[in-house]
Amino acid sequence: ILPLAYGYLWTAALVNLSPPFYPALATARGLAAWESGFVFSAMKIGMFLGSVSMNKMISCFSPTRTYLIGQCLTLLYCGLFGMLYWIPAKIFLWLSILAMLIGGFSMIIQNITMYAAVTLLYSTKRGTLILWAFPLPFFVAGMLQILPFPFIALNGVTPKERLAASPTAHDTQAPKQNLQLRRLILDPIFLANMVTLMLAWVIIGFNDPTLAPHTEQFNLNSVELGAVFMIPAISYALGSLTAGLFCHLEMETFFAFCGQLMTVIAYLIIGPAPFVATAPSLFSVCASIVLIGFGTAGQFICSFSYLLKYTMEQGYNDDVQTTGFISSAVFGFLVIGGLISPPVGGYMVDTFGYRKGSMFMFALLLAWAPVTFFLWWRSICQAKKKFTITMVRTST
C-alpha cells in the first residue's frame, strides 16, 4: 500500500498547486476571474470523464494498468502546466484548458483506483531562476508522483490474495447481491450523502479562482501566499483524523453535520459577510480556511464512509465492483459540483465583489444544513431501533 499512498500524496499535492499561483499568472495574461473559473472547471470535466469511464477501464485493463495509465497522464499534465509560464496570451487559455482536462482525467483515475483498492483491502476497518518561479513545483511534483510506477507495476494496486479470497458470509447471504448497483443513485439517503460530500468540492471550486485574488489586498509575497494555501491542507489533514475517529465510533452523520455547520460559519467570516460590520482581515481569512478544512473533511470522509456502510446494509456485496461503483459515483458527483462552482464563483465575485459574491456559498451551505441534521437524527433513530431489536431477541 505504501507506493499507492506515496503516489496519492503527490497527486493530492498537484491538485493544490494551481489555486494559489495560477490566478495571478492568468491575470497577467489578461484572463478575467470567470475565465480562470472555466480553466478550473476543465479539470472537473476531465475528472467527470474519468469517473464515468473507470468501470470500463478497470474491466479492460485491470486496476493496476488503469492506475499506471493515470500516473503517466499526470506526468504529461505536469509538463504542460509547467510550460504555461512561457505560453503567449493568444493560446494561453486553450492550453490551460487542455492541461486541466488531462490533469483531471489522470488524477481521478488514480484517486478512484486508490479508493477502491483501499476500501476493499480495509473493508473490515473503514531558466534556472525562472524555473524557481511558476513551473518548478509542477515539474518536481510530477516526477515525484511517478517514482512508485515500477513497484505498482510489479505488485498491483490490490493484493492478489485479496482478489483470490473466497466470498465472505455477507457476500454469500446477501439477499440483494444481484441488484443493479445503479439503483443506489435513486435511493434518497444515498443521494443525500452524495450531495453532502459534493458540497466539499463546490467549496473548493469556488475558492480556486476567487480566494487568491481576495488575499491580494493583504500584499502577501509568494511564500506568504503559499503558506496561506497550506492552511487548508493542514486543517483538512487534522480534520481527516478527526473524521476517521468519528467514523470508527460509527458517528459519521454527526460529524458530517458538524462539518456542514463549520463551512457555514466559514463563509460568514471569510469576506466577511456584508451585514457583518468588520473590515476584511488576514486573520478572518485564515480562521475561515481552517474551518473549511475541517468542515470539508467531515463532509467528504464521513459521508463517503457512511455511503459504504449504508450500501452494505442494503445487501450489496462487499467486493471491488461495489466499492469501485461507489467511488466512481462519488467522484462523479464531486466533479459536477466542482465543475459548476468555479465559473459561477468567478462571475459572482467579478460582478458583486468578494464580500457579496461569497454569500452565494453561505446561502447554499446554510440551506443544506437541515438535511445533514436529518441524516444525523435518522441514524440515531436507526441505532435505537437496532438496539431495541437486539434487546428483545436477547430477552426471548
User: Which residue, chain included where needed, has cell 492478489?
Assistant: 160
* Cell reading at 265: 460559519
Angle in degrees, 0-180, between the axes of helices 252-269 and 303-313, rounded to the nearest 10: 150
Start-to-end C-alpha separation, the chain = 46
- The pLDDT tens digits for 264-299 are 999 999 989 999 888 999 999 999 999 999 999 999
Asked which of 60-64, 272-276, 304-308 is least confident by mean pLDDT, the reply is 60-64
The residue with greater pLDDT, 189 or 67, is: 189
Report the mean per-residue pLDDT for the chain: 78
The architecture (CATH level 2) of 182-396 comes to: Up-down Bundle (1.20)
Higher pLDDT, 130 or 2: 2
CB 28: neighbour CB atoms within 10 A?
10
Mean pLDDT of 344-356: 90
**CA–CA gap between residue 272 and residue 288 (Å, rounded):** 10
Residue 65 has pLDDT above 70, yes or no: yes
38 residue type, one letter: F
The pLDDT confidence band at residue 371, using thresholds 50, 70 and 90, is very high
CATH 1.20.1250.20 residue ranges for the chain: 182-396
Residue with cell 484548458: 97
Residue 128 has pLDDT above 70, yes or no: no
Rounded alpha-carbon distances, angstroms, from residue 348 to 14, 76, 210, 260, 266:
27, 33, 10, 22, 18
Quote the CA–CA distance of 307 and 325 in Å, as a whole number. Answer: 11
Q: Which three cell numbers stand for residue 305?
A: 464512509
- List C-alpha distances in Å: 214 to 9, 47, 231, 354, 389: 28, 27, 16, 7, 54
Report pLDDT digits (tens) over 213-245. 898 889 888 778 888 888 888 898 888 889 888
Q: Dihedral (C-alpha) 19, 21, 23, 27: value to the nearest 10 degrees?
A: 180
Rounded CA separation 146/27 (Å):
31
